[in-house]
């Protein structure tokens, strides 16, 4: 107990808790006044000390019952008060729970270590872990000893507050000082927290460390690491961990296999994905809609919609009903390959299957119509959203704005953009990029830059895509000098050019006859770790040939061939025409041999 007390006080002093006086006030106290303004409700209540919590249907019921409990004589025991607090927590009314606790203290209602743990949990869920640690000080003032549930709650709170290092330190303190024996929930909390924070390898190492101790991780801990490995593109490591997990006698479940299946599908490893399905069936793992949806999504993204349809057929053969996600994915898949009529057929079939299309279903079909040049159909579907009782989201607006600009309907696109605020939707960077791209495509560069300023004033910061759109628009409009200035300002904005942006600016420089500057940029991009690609050399050569700078084009062609790239059909055609005009004297054996 002494060791625990010393440790806890040291933790609090070191800054886990901001409140050094160890006194606690609710961070959200605005609801406390409602306790004093509640009117009596006609609610059955028994004077019997045994409390009936079945009458609690909302937070007002809970607060009313709390008032009655305070007036009861004899007063209910601490267990009953804890049940009441727990019921409010389940409603996710954390600030109300804290206000009830505060009144409990003021009125002298009984409190124990479980009560304090509930309070710590509420502070953590409100992202006020500092107040949670202040409550830890109350444990020792009252002579209570925190248990593993208390410390697990604090660790979870630190992760929720993005204090990953502090969470890891606290957990290691528990182990080294042997203050509490971690349980499966503690281990899962730490591993899950590390994975969600992007510390996959740390979580993986910790899991392997646990395997060698008496603290045995359960299937949920393995699932967290396996899922995180797959999302971090380390599918082979996930497969190895799966094998080790099975060797240790821990049976994988549907969640385990679904994560790996998703990872395999993301990399087009179809044979292994199919083999995994077979393994799941052999091990009597009940395949569910989530598992099949992973396959449907993967096939659709690869343009293999027929295979996706086959998966849906298998689902139904196994008496697994395709859901809204399944059909929405199919709609997206058909739209991707240009089969918009089939996408519409799937969309229209959903109500007959007892399924209501969601806003994502509408967005997918709207996108399909826009991509296939059917903007009127897209617009009609867009207007249908509200009639069906659905709320628009930013993605739906972005898609429709892009479609209108793509069809050259700039005025309609701008009007729709301004209409977003009517529906309390805040444009994001994708929205502004869509708008800027539409304006630049339609040669409205001045308007594009005015919206760039509005974007920045609204606190939406331009990204590399924003700058690429503007630079490309400027170059197409012949304003290469302004484009070059904007390009040169990118490092000051904390942005790093990608190969696409280099290709745009280098191609424009070559087309404008600024060969030396283009060469300098080519060297600069390589030094910066951005390797030129096939497009880089082709745009350079094409720009030079347009100005009939054959000698300079030949220099780039030689370098292109040395790098293992090949000229495209346009470059070859232009090159042949100009070589023929020059009597072929510029065509060296090195160029023809390497290309």
Spatial neighbors of 139 by CB under 8 A, at least 6 apart, are 8, 113, 116, 145, 146, 150
- pLDDT, one tens digit per residue, over 110-130 is 888 888 899 888 988 898 888
Distance CA 206, CA 221 (A): 10
Q: What is the pLDDT of residue 384?
A: 95
- pLDDT, one tens digit per residue, over 248-277 is 888 899 999 999 999 998 888 888 888 888
Spatial neighbors of 73 by CB under 8 A, at least 6 apart, are none
Mean pLDDT of 64-70: 85
Q: What is the pLDDT of residue 369?
A: 95
pLDDT of 82 over the 60 cut = yes
Q: Could you tell me the pLDDT band of residue 581, with boundaries at 50, 70 and 90?
A: low
Q: Calculate the CA 169 to chain-centre distance.
A: 27
Q: Could you tell me the pLDDT band of residue 49, with boundaries at 50, 70 and 90?
A: low
Q: What is the pLDDT of residue 473?
A: 93
Tell the residue number behind the tokens 């001045």, with chain if given: 446
Percentage with pLDDT > 70 across the chain: 89
pLDDT of 35 over the 70 cut = no
Q: Could you tell me the pLDDT band of residue 30, with boundaries at 50, 70 and 90?
A: very low
Distance CA 217, CA 125 (A): 25
Q: What φ, ψ does residue 39 adopt, rounded to 5°?
A: -90, 160
Q: Tokens for 12?
A: 């609090």
Cα within 13 Å of Cα(59), Cβ side = 17
Mean pLDDT of 129-140: 82
- pLDDT, one tens digit per residue, over 476-518 is 888 888 988 898 888 888 888 889 998 898 888 888 878 788 8
Rg (CA), the chain: 32
pLDDT of 199 over the 50 cut = yes
Q: Could you tell me the pLDDT band of residue 337, with boundaries at 50, 70 and 90?
A: very high
pLDDT of 436 over the 90 cut = yes
Distance CA 486, CA 291 (A): 47
- Report whether the peptide linkage leading into residue 74 is cis, meaning its omega lies within 30 degrees of zero: yes
Q: Could you tell me the pLDDT band of residue 595, with boundaries at 50, 70 and 90?
A: low
Q: Tokens for 508?
A: 């424009």
pLDDT of 65 over the 60 cut = yes
Distance CA 38, CA 301 (A): 55
pLDDT of 468 over the 60 cut = yes
What does the DSSP 8-state code read for residue 180? Answer: S
Distance CA 71, CA 55 (A): 18
Q: Could you tell me the pLDDT band of residue 417, with boundaries at 50, 70 and 90?
A: very high
Q: What is the pLDDT of residue 33?
A: 35
pLDDT of 8 over the 80 cut = no
Q: What is the pLDDT of residue 13?
A: 43
Give the 3-state DSSP-derived string for 369-415, with helices as H, strands as E and coil as C. Answer: HHHCCCHHHHHHHHHHHHHCCCCCCHHHHHHHHHHHHHCCCHHHHHH
- pLDDT, one tens digit per residue, over 302-311 is 888 998 998 8
Q: What is the pLDDT of residue 362?
A: 96
Tell the residue number behind the tokens 């971690």, with chain if given: 182
Q: What is the pLDDT of residue 365?
A: 96
Q: What is the pLDDT of residue 583?
A: 59
Q: Could you tell me the pLDDT band of residue 50, with boundaries at 50, 70 and 90?
A: low
b/e per residue, 545-579, with b = 16+ CB within 10 A? beeebbebbbebbebbbeeebebeeebeebbeebe
pLDDT of 28 over the 60 cut = no
pLDDT of 21 over the 60 cut = no
Is 508 in contact with 538 (CB distance < 8 Å)?
Answer: no
Q: What is the pLDDT of residue 19?
A: 37
Distance CA 182, CA 152 (A): 8
Is 233 in contact with 225 (CB distance < 8 Å)?
Answer: no
Q: What is the pLDDT of residue 466?
A: 94
Evaluated on CA atoms 227, 228, 231, 237, the torsion sign reads negative
Which among 286, 285, 207, 206 is positioned nearest to 248, based on CA atoms? 207
- pLDDT, one tens digit per residue, over 370-384 is 999 999 999 999 999
Which among 440, 441, 457, 458 is positioned nearest to 449, based on CA atoms? 440
Q: How far is CA 498 from CA 212, 465, 502, in A?
A: 45, 9, 6
Measured from the Cβ of residue 92, the count of other Cβ atoms closer than 10 Å reads 10
Q: Could you tell me the pLDDT band of residue 465, with boundaries at 50, 70 and 90?
A: very high
pLDDT of 285 over the 50 cut = yes
Q: How far is CA 575 from CA 193, 510, 540, 547, in A?
A: 58, 15, 13, 12
């Amino acid at each position: 107990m002494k060791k625990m007390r010393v440790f806890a006080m040291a933790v609090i002093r070191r800054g886990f808790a901001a409140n050094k006086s160890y006194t606690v006030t609710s961070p959200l106290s605005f609801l406390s006044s409602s306790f004093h303004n509640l009117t009596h409700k006609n609610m059955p209540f028994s004077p019997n000390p045994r409390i009936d919590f079945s009458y609690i249907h909302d937070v007002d019921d809970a607060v009313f019952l709390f008032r009655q409990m305070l007036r009861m004589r004899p007063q209910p025991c601490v267990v009953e008060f804890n049940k009441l607090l727990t019921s409010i927590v389940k409603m996710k009314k954390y600030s109300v729970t804290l206000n009830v606790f505060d009144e409990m203290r003021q009125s002298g209602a009984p409190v124990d270590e479980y009560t304090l743990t509930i309070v710590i949990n509420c502070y953590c869920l409100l992202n006020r872990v500092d107040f949670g640690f202040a409550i830890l000080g109350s444990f020792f003032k009252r002579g209570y000893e925190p248990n593993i549930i208390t410390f697990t709650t604090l660790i979870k709170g630190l992760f929720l507050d993005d204090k990953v290092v502090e969470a890891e330190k606290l957990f290691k303190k528990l182990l080294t000082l042997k203050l509490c024996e971690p349980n499966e929930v503690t281990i899962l909390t730490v591993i899950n927290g590390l994975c969600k924070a992007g510390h996959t390898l740390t979580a993986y190492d910790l899991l392997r460390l646990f395997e060698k101790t008496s603290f045995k991780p359960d299937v949920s801990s393995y699932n967290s690491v396996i899922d995180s490995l797959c999302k971090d593109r380390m599918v082979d490591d996930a497969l190895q961990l799966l094998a080790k997990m099975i060797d240790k006698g821990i049976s994988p479940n549907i969640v385990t296999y679904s994560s790996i299946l998703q990872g395999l599908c993301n990399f087009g490893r179809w044979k292994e994905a199919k083999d995994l399905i077979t393994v799941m069936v052999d091990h009597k793992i009940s395949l569910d809609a989530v598992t099949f949806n992973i396959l449907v999504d993967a096939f659709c993204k690869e343009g293999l919609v027929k295979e996706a349809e086959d998966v849906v057929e298998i689902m139904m053969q196994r008496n697994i009903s395709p859901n809204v996600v399944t059909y929405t994915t199919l709609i997206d898949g058909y739209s991707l390959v240009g089969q918009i009529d089939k996408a519409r057929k799937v969309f229209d079939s959903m109500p007959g299957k007892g399924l209501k299309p969601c806003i994502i279903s509408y967005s997918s079909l709207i996108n399909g119509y826009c991509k296939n040049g059917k903007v009127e159909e897209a617009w009609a579907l867009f207007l249908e959203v509200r009639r069906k009782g659905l709320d628009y989201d930013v993605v739906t607006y972005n898609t429709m704005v892009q479609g209108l600009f793509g069809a050259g309907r700039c005025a309609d696109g701008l009007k729709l953009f301004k209409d977003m605020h009517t529906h309390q939707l805040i444009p994001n960077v994708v929205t502004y990029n869509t708008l800027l791209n539409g304006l630049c495509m339609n040669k409205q560069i001045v308007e594009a830059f005015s919206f760039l300023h509005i974007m920045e004033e609204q606190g939406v910061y331009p990204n590399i895509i924003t700058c690429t759109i503007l630079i490309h628009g400027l170059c197409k409009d012949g304003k290469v000098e302004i484009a070059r200035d904007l390009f040169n300002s990118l490092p000051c904005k904390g942005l790093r050019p990608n190969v696409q942006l280099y290709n745009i600016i280098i191609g424009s420089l070559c087309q404008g006859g600024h060969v030396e500057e283009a060469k300098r940029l080519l060297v600069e991009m390589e030094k910066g770790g951005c390797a030129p690609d096939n497009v880089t050399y082709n745009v350079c050569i094409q720009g030079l040939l347009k100005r009939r700078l054959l000698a300079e084009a030949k220099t780039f062609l030689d370098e292109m061939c040395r790098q293992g790239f090949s000229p495209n059909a346009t470059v070859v055609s232009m090159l042949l025409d100009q070589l023929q005009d020059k009597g072929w004297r510029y065509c060296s054996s090195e160029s023809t041999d390497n290309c």
